[in-house]
Amino acid sequence: MQISSVNDVKIYNLSHGKSLPEWLSDRKKRQLQKQDVDIQRRIELIQDFEMPTVCTSIKVSRDGQFILAAGTYKPRVRCYDTYQLSLKFERCLDSDVVAFDILSDDYSKLVFLHADRYVEFHSQHGNYYKTRIPKFGRDFSYHYPSCDLYFVGSTSQVFRLNLEQGRFLNSLQTDAVENNVCDINPVHHLFATGTSEGRVECWDPRVRNRVGTLDCALSSLAEGAEVQSLPSISALKFNGSLTMAVGTSTGQGKAFSSIQPQTNINDVCVYPNSGEKNLPHRLVCGVTPAFDLWVAPSRSRVLSCVSVKRHRR
């Protein structure tokens, strides 16, 4: 660990020092840890907090104790206990995970959407049940009042799977050719789906009727700009009862302001002001290969972090 001070602010570099080559086997890594003193002094805040190749999605349980990450290769899910700072369990899966969600307050109820159209449910002990949706899925959301899972994908329909009855219900028919992402408002449970045509359709789950459509593609085009194709919706997130953040495939994010990084937006997240007064909300946009932090009312970017690729030794 390296400690430096800039403007009387101490900075702790936890990754300073020697690192183990990624291509080494686990046996070679253990041998080097026994022989090299510098490697023994490395600090790991959470044991094995990594994926063998790549991590595709990560979520935190509502009680804040568990971190679950899905990745490849091979397809797997890992659960980390933040209280014990260690890996709690690891489960290998049959295919890549497109999206997953935590249905309970801890890790005891999980649902995975796979690339081969399968929906897999896990309980505390492991795999519990497996079913299949009619079309390839891209995202899903869970409606807590009705116990419905809403699946969107390469179709105009939104498939509904009721977990209480254990059967599929009548689908929602959208005006889109394909639906990329979806989300449910945590306050009034309005369901919204982002389409490949750049529109956001909002539905009321109580009556299964469309209550509004927001055209984000036309409003994101600048005057006089050359247009090859309309941008599609690539990210969607609610904040509170009236605020929604939308990311497009052309690198624009629309929530409180319009931003135009020159890359595709992978995910958006609204960071609240922690209950303090007169402090604006922050909008975090995950782009490739970085993420930007924006202040909502002033439309100003306050932070931009770019990942650096490590070279293998």
pLDDT in tens, the chain (313 residues): 667 877 778 887 766 666 666 677 777 777 777 777 666 666 667 777 788 888 888 999 988 889 999 988 889 999 998 888 888 889 998 899 999 999 988 888 999 999 999 999 998 888 888 999 989 989 999 998 888 999 998 888 999 999 889 889 998 898 888 888 999 988 888 899 988 888 888 888 888 888 888 887 776 666 665 667 778 888 888 887 777 888 888 777 776 433 444 445 555 555 555 444 455 555 556 555 555 655 555 555 555 565 555 544 4
Euclidean distance between CA atoms 46 and 173, whole angstroms:
45
Characterize 63-79 residue by residue with b for buried, 16 or more Cβ atoms within 10 angstroms of its Cβ, and e for exposed.
eebbbbbbbbeebbbbb
Token pair for residue 311?
Answer: 């070279």
Q: What is the per-residue pLDDT for 140?
A: 92
Q: What is the per-residue pLDDT for 258?
A: 35
> Side chain identity at 250, as an amino acid letter?
T
Q: What is the per-residue pLDDT for 256?
A: 42
pTM of the model: 0.69
Task: List Cα–Cα distances, 71 to 32, 37, 206, in angstroms.
Answer: 27, 32, 35
Scan for tokens 């219900």, then name that residue: 169
Scan for tokens 């369990």, then name that residue: 89
Q: Answer yes or no: are the C-beta atoms of 234 and 252 closer than 8 Å.
A: no
Task: List Cα–Cα distances, 294 to 194, 284, 307, in angstroms.
Answer: 22, 6, 18
Quickly list DSSP for 33-90. HHH-HHHHT---SSTT-S-SSEEEEEEE-TTSSEEEEEEETTTEEEEEETTTTEEEEE
Q: What is the per-residue pLDDT for 282?
A: 57
Q: Phi, psi at residue 34, to the nearest 5°?
A: -80, -30
Q: What is the per-residue pLDDT for 84?
A: 83
Question: Which of these, 186, 180, 155, lies nearest to 267 by C-alpha position?
Answer: 180
Q: How many CB atoms are located within 10 Å of the residue 278 CB?
A: 5
Burial category of 176 from C-beta neighbours within 10 Å (exposed 0-12, middle 13-18, buried 19 and up) = buried
